[in-house]
Amino acid sequence: TDLTRGLHPDFMAKEIEQQPEVVADFMATWGPSIGRKLWSPFGLAMPRHLTIVGCGTSLHAGRAVAQVAARLGGIPFTSIEASEVAATTTVPGSLAVVLSQSGETADVLRAVDALHGRSHPILALTNNPHSALARRAQAVMICRAGPEIGVAATKTFTAQVVGGTAVVLSMLAAGGVLDRSDIHRLVTQLESVADLMAYAIGAARGSVPDLVPALVDSPGFVFLGRGPGRVFADEGALKLKELTYRWAESHAAGELKHGPLALIEHGTPVIVVDDGSDRLAATIEEVRARGARVLSIGPEQATIPARTSTNAHGLARGVDWLGPLESVVGLQVLARELAVALGRDVDKPRNLAKSVTVE
Ligand code: G6P
C-alpha cells in the first residue's frame, strides 16, 4: 500500500483521484458474486425495514444506499445519527445497517450496544476489517477503499455507497425481487460508476478553479437537492464546512421557501445538485431573481458538469437508480479548491479528527 502523497499536493487530492480505481477494484473483487453468495452467507433474511446508522459522511453514504433499497425493492428506511440511536425508538426487527469508515467511532459503538439490546440484526459497512464494529456485527461488508489519510472522507464515501449497493442488490436477489437478468444489467451499470467518477474528476478539474475567486469571500453557502440528489447536497455542505470553516447549510429544494430563502442576498452562493426537473428549475429561478450566485452540478451544461448526456467516448450517462453519486466529485473538488485558496490545511481541518473515539 502506498501511503505517500506522490505527486499530489495533499492526501485529499490523491484520495479524490483514487475514486475511479476504488470503484473498479471493488467491482472486480465482488462484481461476479453480486446476486449470488454475497448476501446469503450473512444468514439474514430479506429485511422489511432498514435502520441506517452512522456519523457524518458515513451517515450520508448510508442514506444513499438506503435509497437504492427503497427504489429497487420498496424497502422503507429510517436514518438515525449514531449519537441519537440510544435516545430514539427504532422499528422492531429492522435490519440495522451501521456505517463507519474507521469502525471505531465511539458514537457508533455505543449505538451498536443499543441496537444489540433491542435485538436488531446488524450489517456493518466499514473500511476497517479489524475494527470493533466489524467484530460486533452479524454481517460485514468491507469497502476496500484503502487507507484514507485526509480527515474529510472522500473515497470512503464512494466505497461505502458502492459496497452497500452491492449488498442491497444481493439482498433483493435473495428475496426474489431481482432476477438474474436484472442483476446482470444492474451490476454492469454499477461497474460503469468507475468511468463516471473518472469523467466527473476531469470535468471538475476543468470547471471549478475558475469559480473559486468569486466565492472565496462568501461567508455562507446554501446547498439544495431534491429526491435522490438531496443526500449529495448534504454531503457537499458538510465537505465545505469541514474544509473552509465557512457556514454551509443544505436543504430540500422545496423547503427553501419555508425559511432559508430569507438568507439569500445578492451574491449568496447557492449550489444545486441538479436533477434536471422542472421543480428544481423553478427553485433556481427563485433564488436567481433574488440575486443569488447559482452553481449547478450534474448535467453536461451545468456549472460543474458531472456526466455527459451522450455515450460518446464510451462514457456512461449516470445510473438513475443509484442517484447522482458522481456529483459528489464536483462537490469535493469545490470544497477542496476553496479551502486551498483560503490557506486551510485540507488534510487536517481545525477541531476535527479522523476518528472520534470519545463520545
Ligand atoms: C469524524 C470525521 C468525519 C467522519 C466521521 C465518521 O467526525 O471527521 O469525516 O465522517 O468521523 O467517521 P467514521 O469512521 O465512523 O466513518
Distance 358 CA to ligand 1 centre (A): 12
Distance 356 CA to ligand 1 centre (A): 7
Distance 57 CA to ligand 1 centre (A): 6
**Per-residue model confidence (pLDDT) at position 41:** 44
Q: What is the pLDDT of residues 276-324, one digit of tens each?
A: 888 899 999 999 999 999 999 998 889 999 987 665 544 556 788 999 9
Q: Mean pLDDT across the chain, nearest whole number?
A: 93
- Nearest-atom number in ligand 1 for the CA of 128 is 14
Distance 55 CA to ligand 1 centre (A): 6
Pocket flag, ligand 1, residue 58 (CB < 6 Å): yes
Distance 357 CA to ligand 1 centre (A): 10
For residue 43, pLDDT beyond 70: no
Q: What is the pTM of this model?
A: 0.96
**Per-residue model confidence (pLDDT) at position 310:** 64
Q: Which of 81, 102, 348 to mutate to test the pocket of ligand 1 (most atoms within 8 A of CB)?
A: 102
Three-class secondary structure assignment of the chain: CCCCCCCCCCHHHHHHHCHHHHHHHHHHHHHHHCCCCCCHHHCCCCCCCEEEEECHHHHHHHHHHHHHHHHHHCCCEEEEEHHHHHHCCCCCCCEEEEEECCCCCHHHHHHHHHHHHCCCCEEEEECCCCCHHHHHCCEEEECCCCCCCCCCCCHHHHHHHHHHHHHHHHHHHHCCCCCHHHHHHHHHHHHCHHHHHHHHHHHHHHHHHHHHHHCCCCCEEEEEECHHHHHHHHHHHHHHHHHHCCEEEEEEHHHHHHCHHHHCCCCCEEEEECCCCHHHHHHHHHHHHCCCEEEEEECCCCCEECCCCCCHHHCCCCCHHHCCCCHHHHHHHHHHHHHHHCCCCCCCCCCCCCCCCCC
Q: What is the pLDDT of residues 95-108, one digit of tens each?
A: 999 999 999 999 99
**Per-residue model confidence (pLDDT) at position 3:** 82
Pocket flag, ligand 1, residue 352 (CB < 6 Å): yes
**Which ipTM was obtained for this model?**
0.96
Q: What is the pLDDT of residues 168-211, one digit of tens each?
A: 999 999 888 999 999 999 999 999 999 999 999 999 999 999 99
